[in-house]
């Protein structure tokens, strides 16, 4: 009986030991799978000064087991400057929570530079224990751009003065300013002409009587017989301008011949009368500015045309005034 029990115990011991060892292995594998992990990668280990590259941190841990505190990225990592931080991505796979962040960095210090480790804090949800995970320290070779030995070297040149070019809108402002200045000067000239001109509107005679008297006086002075042709025609146009200015109570002594013709459109003169008057004005302009010497009978005819034109305008204006009353 004792021998049978001994045999059974001898047979059972290897089985118990095997079960114990298998349980230990499974428990160890389970504990190993439950541990969080961290991985640090870069897409380049050699860069030129100022060249950007990607620095990626990834973690994995069982769900509902740990609480993760992600690191706060500083502006600089040793000799590296942070250019851009992407958002932290998260995913769930096979019972594990995965987190990752892609960071763009660069360096302006040549030589072998090392990205220092970053700290991630882990806390267990069951219990008060906590621990830190560190990213790997990654060496990066930072170098200058290789020199092109094919190109020739050039001497250092002296400083070249750069010509300042105006933007198009400066030219636009200048053109507008010149146009405004032109009209302002023209306005001032006309204003001072009016201001310095003799008072046309103070006279004992009516505008018509004064014009007729002035034309008769001009005819009696016999300027044509004295070869004063220019003075004769200047007086003719001035008498007409003075009459129109007084009759309309508007200063028109500065009008040119063309402006006077345009001004006469409102008086509804006949076509023949307007043509004859226009010829007289053109003849007067030719005498004053082109030294043209017409025959005396042509100049005398101009005096009569101006006299008839003043008479017709005066009659039309009087009739218009009477009808309005």
pLDDT digits (tens, 9 = 90+) for 202-261: 778 888 999 999 999 998 998 889 999 999 999 999 999 999 888 888 888 888 888 888
Q: Confirm whether 154 is domain-assigned.
A: no
Q: Whose CA is closest to 109, among 68, 48, 197?
A: 48
CA distance readout (Å), 217 to 83, 96, 184, 211, 212: 97, 121, 39, 10, 9
Q: Whose CA is closest to 277, among 285, 321, 252?
A: 285
Q: CATH code at 239? A: 1.20.120
Percent of the chain's residues with pLDDT above 90: 27
- Evaluate whether 242 touches 250 at the Cβ level (below 8 Å): no
Q: Confirm whether 54 is domain-assigned.
A: yes
Q: CATH code at 89? A: 2.60.40.740
Residue 94: how many CB atoms within 10 A of its CB?
Answer: 9
Q: Are residues 245 and 318 in the same domain?
A: yes
Q: Which residue has the higher pLDDT, 90 or 8?
A: 90
Beta bridge partners of 48: 143
* Backbone torsion region of residue 142, taken as left when φ is above 0, otherwise alpha when ψ lies between -120 and 50, otherwise beta: beta
Which are the contacts of 95, defined by CB distance < 8 A and separation ≥ 6? 62, 63
Q: Are residues 314 and 218 in the same domain?
A: yes
Q: What is the pTM of this model?
A: 0.41
Instruction: Name the residue range of residue 275's domain.
Output: 198-324
Q: Are residues 216 and 291 in the same domain?
A: yes
Say what the pLDDT of residue 193 is. 65
Q: Which two tokens stand for residue 240?
A: 């007409």
Q: Are residues 210 and 318 in the same domain?
A: yes
Give the single-character DSSP code of 278.
H
Q: What is the chain's mean pLDDT, rounded?
A: 81
CA distance readout (Å), 3 to 111, 140, 198: 79, 73, 159
Q: Confirm whether 92 is domain-assigned.
A: yes
Rounded to an integer, what distance in angstroms lies between the CA atom of residue 302 and that of residue 298? 6
- Evaluate whether 82 touches 75 at the Cβ level (below 8 Å): yes
> pLDDT digit string (tens) for 258-274?
888 888 878 788 888 88
Confidence of residue 4 (pLDDT cuts 50, 70, 90): very low
Say what the pLDDT of residue 170 is. 85
Section 151-170 average pLDDT: 74
Say what the pLDDT of residue 132 is. 87
Listing DSSP states for 215-237 in one string gives HHHHHHHTTTTTT-HHHHHHHHH
Boundary of a domain, candidates 121, 143, 165: 143
| Cα 267 off chain centre by | 52
- Evaluate whether 86 touches 33 at the Cβ level (below 8 Å): no
Q: Are residues 287 and 205 in the same domain?
A: yes
Residue 70: how many CB atoms within 10 A of its CB?
Answer: 14
Confidence of residue 82 (pLDDT cuts 50, 70, 90): very high
Q: Are residues 208 and 134 in the same domain?
A: no
Boundary of a domain, candidates 112, 143, 174: 143
Q: Whose CA is closest to 234, among 207, 202, 257?
A: 257
Q: Are residues 122 and 216 in the same domain?
A: no
Confidence of residue 15 (pLDDT cuts 50, 70, 90): low
Residue 110: how many CB atoms within 10 A of its CB?
Answer: 13
Strands 53-62 and 37-42: antiparallel
Q: Are residues 52 and 133 in the same domain?
A: yes
Q: Confirm whether 63 is domain-assigned.
A: yes
Rounded to an integer, what distance in angstroms lies between the CA atom of residue 12 and that of residue 10? 6
Q: Confirm whether 151 is domain-assigned.
A: no
Q: Are residues 253 and 318 in the same domain?
A: yes
Q: Confirm whether 244 is domain-assigned.
A: yes
Q: Are residues 138 and 205 in the same domain?
A: no
Say what the pLDDT of residue 18 is. 52
Say what the pLDDT of residue 184 is. 92
Q: Confirm whether 78 is domain-assigned.
A: yes
Say what the pLDDT of residue 31 is. 44
Q: Confirm whether 222 is domain-assigned.
A: yes
Boundary of a domain, candidates 143, 172, 207: 143
Q: Whose CA is closest to 53, among 116, 118, 119, 141?
A: 141
Say what the pLDDT of residue 276 is. 87
Confidence of residue 176 (pLDDT cuts 50, 70, 90): very high
Residues 34, 36, 39: CA angle, nearest 5 degrees: 140
Q: Are residues 254 and 320 in the same domain?
A: yes
Section 86-102 average pLDDT: 90
Token pair 């101006």: residue? 306
> pLDDT digit string (tens) for 24-70?
444 444 444 467 889 999 998 999 998 999 999 999 988 888 888 88
Strands 130-134 and 138-143: unpaired
Q: Are residues 213 and 294 in the same domain?
A: yes
Q: State how many domains the chain has.
A: 2
């Amino acid at each position: 009986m004792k021998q049978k029990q001994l045999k059974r115990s001898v047979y059972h011991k290897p089985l118990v030991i095997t079960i114990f060892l298998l349980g230990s292995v499974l428990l160890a594998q389970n504990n190993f799978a439950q541990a969080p992990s961290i991985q640090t990668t870069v897409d380049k280990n050699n860069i030129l000064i100022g060249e950007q590259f990607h620095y990626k941190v990834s973690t994995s841990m069982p769900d509902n087991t740990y609480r993760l505190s992600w690191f706060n990225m500083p502006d600089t990592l040793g000799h590296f400057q942070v250019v851009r931080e992407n958002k932290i991505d998260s995913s769930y796979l096979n019972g594990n929570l995965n987190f990752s962040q892609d960071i763009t960095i660069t360096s302006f210090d040549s030589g072998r530079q090392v990205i220092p480790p970053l700290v991630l804090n882990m806390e267990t949800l069951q219990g008060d224990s906590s621990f830190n995970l560190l990213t790997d320290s990654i060496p990066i070779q930072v170098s200058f751009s290789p020199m092109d030995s094919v190109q020739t070297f050039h001497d250092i040149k002296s400083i070249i003065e750069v010509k300042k070019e105006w933007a198009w809108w400066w030219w636009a402002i200048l053109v507008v300013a010149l146009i405004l200045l032109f009209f302002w000067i023209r306005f001032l000239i006309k204003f001072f002409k009016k201001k310095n001109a003799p008072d046309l509107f103070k006279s004992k005679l009516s505008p018509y009587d004064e014009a007729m008297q002035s034309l008769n006086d001009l005819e009696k002075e016999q300027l044509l017989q004295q070869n004063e042709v220019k003075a004769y025609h200047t007086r003719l146009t001035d008498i007409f301008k003075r009459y129109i200015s007084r009759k309309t109570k508007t200063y028109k002594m500065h009008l040119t011949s063309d402006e006077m013709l345009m001004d006469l459109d409102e008086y509804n003169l006949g076509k023949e009368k307007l043509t004859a008057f226009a010829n007289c004005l053109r003849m007067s302009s030719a005498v004053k500015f082109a030294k043209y010497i017409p025959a005396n009978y042509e100049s005398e005819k101009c005096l009569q045309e101006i006299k008839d034109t003043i008479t017709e305008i005066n009659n039309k204006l009087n009739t218009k005034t009477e009808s309005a009353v």
